[in-house]
Amino acid sequence: MDATNTPFGAAALDAARALYQGEGLALPPVPASLVPGLRPIGANAYASRDLGWTLYDFGNFVDELQSGKTVEPYVAFGLSGHGLALQAAHYYAVTARCAVLFQMRWGTPMNRPEQDRQRHDAVLSLGQKLLAAADAHAASGKMPAGQRMVAAESSFHGSRWAWLPADEAIWHPSRGGAVMDALVAVKQLG
């Protein structure tokens, strides 16, 4: 990619907004502190940091958080995949105390566009609430020390949530949506 013509920051956010508007989807939330580093990482993909994999590699996002290594806050999102049936809308938001990893089938012949738009926008809204609740609980000292709430919800890899890092991560499977279940778990902290 020619860096001289690559949009960064607000220009990248504007390009992403146009992409999502064209699909009739809500733009994924990007924390203001991460906007300056936002840049395209592919044809229809944006991130505030470099990634060693594509947005479609959902397991790599989970594995990185499970590894116990320090993962600095970032956001990555876009519309990408491969083949006719394996296209998806992606949103990965990681803060110091919470991570929302969301991947939903999108742009395939199997789609139900209106229902899928509603689901996409609803999960993004819940994700924002989860990130805010985790920040609020961390500020009040109610979050488990040294742990991050991770909600991983994918059309292809299932849904689950856990507190990470942990000596032995206990993933809680979710049928109704990992982001909602993680939000409930955080709110139950007090």
- Per-run averaged pLDDT (10 residues), the chain, 190 residues: 65 95 93 95 95 95 93 95 71 97 82 85 97 96 93 96 88 94 96
* Phi–psi pair at 104, nearest 5 degrees: -130, 130
Residue ranges making up the domain that contains 129: 3-187
pLDDT digits over 46-79, tens only? 999 999 999 999 999 999 999 988 999 999 999 9
Beta bridge partner(s), residue 77: 46, 91
Residue 130 CB neighbour total at 10 angstroms: 29
Cβ neighbours of residue 8 closer than 8 Å, sequence gap 6 or more: 36, 37, 38, 39
Nearest to 125 by CA among 16, 20, 26, 14: 26
Count how many domains the chain has. 1
Q: What does pTM read for this prediction? A: 0.92
Cα–Cα distance measured from residue 13 to residue 27, given in angstroms and rounded to the nearest whole number: 9
- How far from 85 is each of 55, 101, 108, 114, CA to CA, in Å? 16, 21, 5, 18
